[in-house]
Structure formats: structure tokens, C-alpha cells
Structure 1
């Protein structure tokens, strides 16, 4: 249907206008606060489970991030599902609102096979993704600290966050393709091995390259998104520590 990311951009604006680029935004906008709250809370708890000492190694940070990612899937799965199903209404004149998509999904397939469709694919994606996410961020931050000391400038935090975001997608992208396909289709998945079945189907249809279709725009998206997420978290934490003394 498309020749590449730029063709998607041009056709979307041509058919749906500039606001078409923001289709599906309501779902993550409503859920992102809860998702990130759960993610960073789970990461803090996971760090203490992995080691009682505050200075973790990079592999230990990766393990804590993977544990946090598994917990994060509880909220991330439905948020992702409704975002993808909103975006999948491409070029339709009668696009449904988020509330309508939710009602239709619930009425047709219920909670397990509707709202939580693709949950295990989301778990499978989040474990390596957030392991790499936190490990990549911490690795870059420690490298900057060797040069600039403990109090890093904001640009260094942004750069470290970007590195974490890129690491996220490189660690999990084929699993994200599986998750997106499962959540977008009309029929619910069957069986417990649908992830491997879907991976084989993708390779059979388009070769191994199909497992990485859309990777470049995802990487471009991760640079500002992860940079803002980590920098905001670090600066907010420092502010709360100085304000509350805790």
C-alpha cells in the first residue's frame, strides 16, 4: 500500500489532513501517565529485588528493566491495542472515535480476547525492550558522568534518554511487529503459541525483512520521546528530593 515512511506521510496528509498524523493519540494520551507511573515504580522495586545495593551493574539494570517491562505490559497492552486499532482505520470516511472502538471491541470479543488481545505478545516485547531501555540509558549516562561529573547538563540527560530509546526498539522490534498484527486483526488469536506462529507467518509472507518493516520511523520517534521521558523523570526526581528532603 505504501512505498515507504515518506509515502505514508504524504498520503496521510493528502487523504486525511495534517490531523490524520495524530490519529490514535487519545489512547496513549489518556493512559501514558498510568503506564509510566507503573513502569518507573516497577523499575524501582525491581532494582531492590535484583540487589540490595544502590549501585547496580549494567547487566543488573537490564534485568531490573526487563522485570519492570513485564509488569508494565498490564497497562501497556490495552493502551497499545486501542492506539493501533484507531490508526488502522486508514483513509476511511467513517472513522470511529475511541469510545466507539472500545465499545465495539468489548461487545464483540470481551475483555480477554478483546481489550487484552495481544497481552502475551506485549509481555514478550516489553521484557527485552525495557531491559535495553534502562541499560542503554544508564550506560550513556555513566559515560557522560566520566566527563562532566555527577550533575549532568540537561542535554546529556536528553542524549542518554535517546540512546535508551534507540536501544529499546533495536532489542524488540520483530516482537512489536507481531504484537501490532495481532492487535489490529479482527479475529482474536488462538492457541498458546501464537507468537511463534505469527513470526513464521511474517517471514513466510515477506521474508526476514518484514520483521523490521517500519523500524526507521520507530527509531526516529524514540529519540525525542525517550529523551523527554528520562530527562523529565530525572529532573522531577531531583526536584522532589530537594523539595521534600526524602
Structure 2
């Protein structure tokens, strides 16, 4: 196995570890974020009301509702993301350290590739989180089989794919660009062997940049994926229609509904993702020499 192939394998394995850390740390706040985006108007007063009602009516583990979907798919999704990012970097430049513009472009390319797996994982997570503890709530297996049976692969399993692509491109450009910027600033002070807290801080910066770069599209994605029927028209048409609908219903602030729990969540979840990835990759580099 040549060094380039081994490096990709290392990134696949490290991405799985980083993704698992992200889901375990960030799922409760992700549930609050999704419910803020898709709940019927007037159902909740804000993020804290979502938290209190969820705990009171459904119990603590309802905050982890829908975790099976990202946790089961996280190995593939994050492996694909980090490996695509590594491949994109090597495609853009033969040198190990890219400019920040090249880093952001590599992140955008990785985000586009990542949407292939992220879209169905997100779709099933959103549909699980959009259940509020009623007697008709379904298990993940029933949700998956129902979507497949009723709508098939494209309109069922892959519903929201194009809006996921539209979200992932700017999101991961910001994600990797901000992470690399922060990491390089820390390296000016601490050298190449960064302390773990510096990796955590850099990851948090990347996570915040991720949401700031894409949040309105995330609201659109969640609403489209939760709706009972598939969207109509071309991706541009139904994304534009959903944006107009959100503004008509809730004003411009509707495009940012649920942003605060997302930003709060991004600090520990992105920090743990990057720290777990970087530490695992560095370990594998020492073991494999690639």
C-alpha cells in the first residue's frame, strides 16, 4: 500500500472516531435545534422551553432521540468527509500545508462529497427528532421502511439531498477554514506539538463557523425532510419556495430559529470531533508511517 492510499485509510479510520465523539457529545442540543426548526408555531417558547418540555413529557433519553441514525451512519459519513478532505487537499496542492483559501476550497469539495451519505442520515435523524412522545411515535426501523415503501429511494431515503449539498459546501468551507486558521495561530505560540486544549479550541472555532455559514439552509433542509410529502419542482425552486414560506410565517428571524443551541452545541461537539480525529490520525501516522 503506497503512502497516499495509507494516508486515506488513516483518515477514514480517524474520521470514524471523530464522528462518534461528535454524535455522543452533541446529540441533545441537536435535538433541541431540530425541534426549534420544525415544531408547529406556538408549540414552544424557545430553546429552554423545548428542553424543559422534552424532559418533563418524554424523559432525559428523548434528547438522544434519533441518535441511532447518525451513530450507525457516522462511520461512513465522517470517514467519507475526512478522507474526501484529505484527497481534496492532495488534489489541490502537492505541498502538505495549503493556503487558507485552498483549505476552504478543499473543505467545500469534501462537503459536496459528504452529502451523499449525510443526506439520508440527517433525514432519518430529523424524522425521529420530530416525534414528541405520542402513542404514534415510530422506531427508526419503521421510519426507514415506511419512507422506502411509500416514496422509494430518491424521494424517500434521499429526500433533501440537494439542499444538503447546498448546505454542506459553505458549511465545510467555513468549518475547515476556521479550524486551520485557529490551529496555525496556536502553532505560532506552541509549535507543531499542540496541546489538546488548543485542538479543542480550534475545533470549536470550526464548529461555530460551520453553522454561521449555512444555518438558513439547515432550517430549509429540516423542514423539507420532515414534511409528509416530497418537495415539488427543481431543487432551486423548492429551496426558494421554502425560504419564502419561512419568511412569510415567521419573518427573517425564522431563518435563524434554533441557531443558539446549534452554536452552543458546536463548541463541545466540533471540539471533540477535531481533537479525536487529529489525535487518532497522528497515532496512525506513527504506526503506519503515512
Which range, TM-score by smaller chain?
Answer: over 0.9
Choose from 115, 126, 129 the match for 1:87. Answer: 129
In structure 1, the partner of 2:187 is 145
In the alignment, the residues of structure 2 paired with residue 53 and residue 243 of structure 1 have an alpha-carbon distance, to the nearest angstrom, of: 22
Match of 2:55 among 7, 10, 13: 13
What secondary structure does 2:228 align onto? coil
1:214 positional shift: 0.1
- Paired position in structure 1 for 2:254: 210
SS in 2 for 1:110: helix
- Which position in structure 2 is the counterpart of 1:78? 120
TM-score by length of 1: 0.98
Q: Let me know the Cα RMSD of the aligned residues.
A: 0.8
Structure 1 residues 80-135: Cα deviation after superposition (integer angstroms, max 9, x where no partner): 00000011111312311100000111111110000000000000000000000000
Moved over 2 A (4+): none
- TM-score w.r.t. the length of structure 2 is 0.83
The one of the two structures with greater contact order (alpha-carbon pairs below 8 A, sep at least 6) is 2
Report the counterpart of residue 63 of structure 1 in structure 2: 105
Tell me the number of residue pairs that the alignment of Structure 1 and Structure 2 aligns: 246
Matched with 2:272 is 228
> Is 2:227 the counterpart of 1:185?
yes
Gaps of 5+ in 1: none
SS in structure 1 of the partner of residue 123 of structure 2: helix
Please give the per-residue CA displacement for 1:198-225, whole angstroms capped at 9, x wherever unaligned: 1111111111100000000011111111
Unaligned runs of 5+ in 2: 1-42
